[in-house]
Structure 1
């Protein structure tokens, strides 16, 4: 790698040039102007002249300084003018951008779509395709077959489609590695090296990152040709945005939820991002804030890709103003109006801290970064403070009712840990239909047989006794098989179960024994069942009914009946029943 190093003098009196003054195509300048971008940032001002000339370079700048258009604008300019050393556009990818996360892939694709709005290819508008995991292969394969010009993707899915032969990398003329240090931390370096081996050697390669660890420098020396290292800041400057106001509090784990709820009610609070270390904590915090009445969404690894994209879309459009996320969202969410960033848990290292709080204070705006440190995280925070030179090695012990919390963050006095949701106002012109109150539901005691309702006589007969149903008298009948009727005769007869008596206690015992034996025998020819418990019916007009069973053919149930009784037992039971 060459020793060429360019640094930008971040002077407030310096007027940044426009994209048109740097020689960018008129179509790109027009598209950027429609989204309010006319003048360049420091990293863009330094990279555009070299990138437009086709030179390899390494861009290093703090997060939120415009690195995406630093490589995106020259990339689109070169492939639109067929200045990549290959043939004109024919639907085969001519530029490849590798990013570490799905969220960053979506963000970069959106930025390139906005900038290439008026660029044309052989089929019409220049096409940019995002390729990442969590989505079906079929739609991405179909898009590749229909023809694309720029591919933005994560290493894993890019490798899969390239190995299957759907992604053709033989005509790539511009290669970009965005957030290279993050890809190193996630273990993507072997996949990146394989992808770099698939693209042509005659290409332009640009590497962009917020930090530049040793393995990334080694990668640059291996795959870049005499690159120029561009750093858009003074070497002694801090990695933190000057316009980001930082607060660090030592908070108890059981009081963090209440403390965050008070912070979210600060006067100047707008869109807010809350970062956690674990997926479980992220979902727990999101659920707790939702119960307290806040408009909150979550983005973490346990959620499906569709759910993550919906949460990010709502956050960008203002549908929700609080987003709880793990470090997967620390990069790739480019929202200019994020006013507050809250570190619910201490970051792992200083790089993670820089990327987290870099979500606020973007594009020259001011922001607030709040970090909550638990007692067991003090040593980790001391290392971060020493590496960044923040001078906050001993955070102040703070609780949700601490006066200095209200004073420093502008929290109104008297707020609580919950907020009331706005009530939905009714339209006065709307027609309100009032429904009559429903009468109490009565129990349905009607009984049916084969779909037809039974009269009271049949019901009483089925229940095992005779009950007088005259409307004039509702006197109870002394029946051993039924309950007494109530005074008004409204309550229908209810069947009572009798306890079986031991054998040898009289005729009832013999009857019960015969009934038991008959119940165990499916081959009994005749079964006599006394509905009134073995006693003669007291009412002459309703005698006990005899129930007959059909004899089953031999061998239908095998040698044994349904209860496992042998044939000899069945014959004995039949004889006992006949004697009754």
Structure 2
């Protein structure tokens, strides 16, 4: 099935074509018609499956550029995701001249308020900033047609449940609600069913299906030798673009500082890095001007960057889900990917759990220090 058969109009088809997008992904194929026809949808899909376009395309079809009220609200847990969704929406704007407002912390709220004085059709926001606008009465959601709760599992994990409930209370009862999540657990179901009318559940295969394109290694090391082991591996691999994952912001800071001292071309992102700097870093990384991006899990959630060939897990992920999520950022679209995990003695139990979940023992890589 192609986009035309899914009822996507010519103008939008031209925009997709110029971006090199010709065939819908499974989540798009499944969702577009339901959303276009006003159904509530629960979508289980991970980053990299094309879920953003799965809701943006039908929403763009349904939005009326002539009406001067907010018709669509997309709430998402992190600023990075808000930026990414806004980028996608701005590309589609070439096909349909609608006004889009991105509302997240770190952006000038006065500029957002000025923009809201005009006709805004779509708002893409993080919960905190949106509540700020609602309390100032600069946003009116009473006529809202479609509400999208994106990355619902992460939203709950980051403690935004009350904020989401406060936001939903401000919207029209007759709205369409779409809920997307990497995992649909009982918490997400509870949240979804509370606000949805006979939702259709759409689930696409887990990212683990693509693990066959990713060569995985483990370097067994100690905390003391870990940094030397990482640098040795980087010098051997010399990747064009790589993401290095650390467990905490403090670990990200320390590793970035030490790698800079050693002369590596690297930058860090986590939630304490100011917004405009993060945007600048992400732009440089996408262009290939930065070789190594050192990231915390939360900051990297939802980052969909083409061209990342190598993922290094400097710190052990919390669980299998997190491991698959991290390494799923390479080996995309049939490309080969490589990932290396650094495991200290205290990490062995988690490593065994990961190996059990993926169904094989990860090949060990020896590093001569």
Q: What TM-score do you get using the length of structure 1 for normalisation?
A: 0.61
Q: Secondary structure at the match of 1:371?
A: strand
Unaligned ranges ≥5, structure 2? none
* 1:150-193 Cα deviation digits (max 9, x unpaired): 11111111111112101111121011111111111101111111
- Counterparts of 2:58 and 2:293, CA distance in 1: 33
Task: Select 2:110's aligned residue among 129, 138, 149.
Answer: 138
Given the alignment of the two structures, is residue 35 of structure 1 paired with residue 19 of structure 2, yes or no? yes
Q: Deviations over 1:44-80 (max 9, x none)?
A: 1111121111111111123311111111111111114
Distance, in Å, in 1 between the alignment partners of 2:208 and 2:278 is 32
Q: In 1, distance between residues paired with 2:224 and 2:329?
A: 27
Q: Aligned pair 1:51/2:21, yes or no?
A: no
Provide the rounded CA distance (Å) in 2 between the counterparts of 1:282 and 1:239.
Answer: 29
- Does residue 79 (structure 1) correspond to residue 57 (structure 2)? The answer is no
- Counterparts of 2:188 and 2:350, CA distance in 1: 25
Counterpart-to-counterpart distance in 1, 2:321 and 2:209: 9
Residue in structure 1 matched with residue 127 of structure 2 by the alignment: 155
Matched with 1:278 is 248
User: 2:196 and 2:146 mapped to 1: Cα distance?
Assistant: 12
Task: Specify whether residues 63 and 332 from structure 1 end up closer, same or farther in structure 2 by C-alpha distance, changes over 3 A only.
Answer: closer
Other structure's SS at 1:306 match: helix
1:59-78 mapped onto 2 (5 Å cutoff) = 59-78=43-62
Which residue number corresponds to residue 519 of structure 1? none
SS in 1 for 2:201: strand
Correspondences of 1:149-548 after superposition (within 5 Å): 149-233=121-205, 238=208, 241-266=211-236, 269-386=239-356, 388-392=357-361, 396=364, 400-401=367-368
Q: Distance in 2 between matches of 1:134 and 1:65?
A: 28
- Does the C-alpha gap of structure 1 residues 179 and 364 become closer, same or farther in structure 2, counting only changes over 3 Å? farther
Q: State yes or no: 1:102 paired with 2:79.
A: yes
Task: Name the structure where helix makes up a greater proportion of residues.
Answer: 2
2: distance between equivalents of 1:139 and 1:359? 34
CA contact (8 A) 1:65 1:362 kept: no
- Which secondary structure state, in structure 2, belongs to the residue aligned with residue 206 of structure 1? strand
Which ranges in structure 1 are unaligned for 5 or more consecutive residues?
A: 1-16, 83-87, 120-124, 403-580
Distance across 2 between alignment mates of 1:297 and 1:320:
7
Report the Cα distance in structure 2 between the residues aligned to 1:132 and 1:148, rounded to whole angstroms: 16
Q: Distance in 1 between matches of 2:140 and 2:11?
A: 27
Number of equivalences: 369
Partner of 1:492: none
Structure 1: distance between partners of 2:339 and 2:110: 42
The reply to whether residue 114 of structure 1 matches residue 86 of structure 2 is no
* Residues 346, 372 of structure 1: 8 Å contact kept: yes
Structure 1 residue 244: Cα displacement: 2.1
Question: 1:376 deviation in Å?
Answer: 1.4
Residue 354 of structure 1 deviates from its aligned partner by: 2.3
Q: CA deviation at 1:233?
A: 2.3
1:399 CA drift (Å)? 5.5
Deviation, 1:297, is 0.8
| Distance in structure 2 (CA, Å) of the matches to 1:240 and 1:38 | 21
**Higher relative contact order, structure no. (Cα contacts within 8 Å, ≥ 6 residues apart):** 2
* Partners of 1:139 and 1:55 in 2: CA distance: 34
C-alpha contact 1:44 1:70 (8 A) present in aligned 2? yes
**Aligned to 1:311, what secondary structure does the other structure show?**
helix
Kept in 2, the 8 Å contact 1:330–1:355? The answer is no
- CA distance in 1 between counterparts of 2:264 and 2:99 reads 39
Distance 2:280 2:238 in 1: 26
Hey, what's the Cα distance between the residues in 1 that align with 2:346 and 2:185? 28
Mapped to 2, the partners of 1:49 and 1:135 lie a distance apart of: 34
Distance 2:238 2:252 in 1: 24
**CA distance in 2: counterparts of 1:239 and 1:105, whole angstroms:** 27
Deviations 1:499-518 (A, max 9, x none): xxxxxxxxxxxxxxxxxxxx
Alpha-carbon separation, structure 2, partners of 1:330 and 1:49? 31
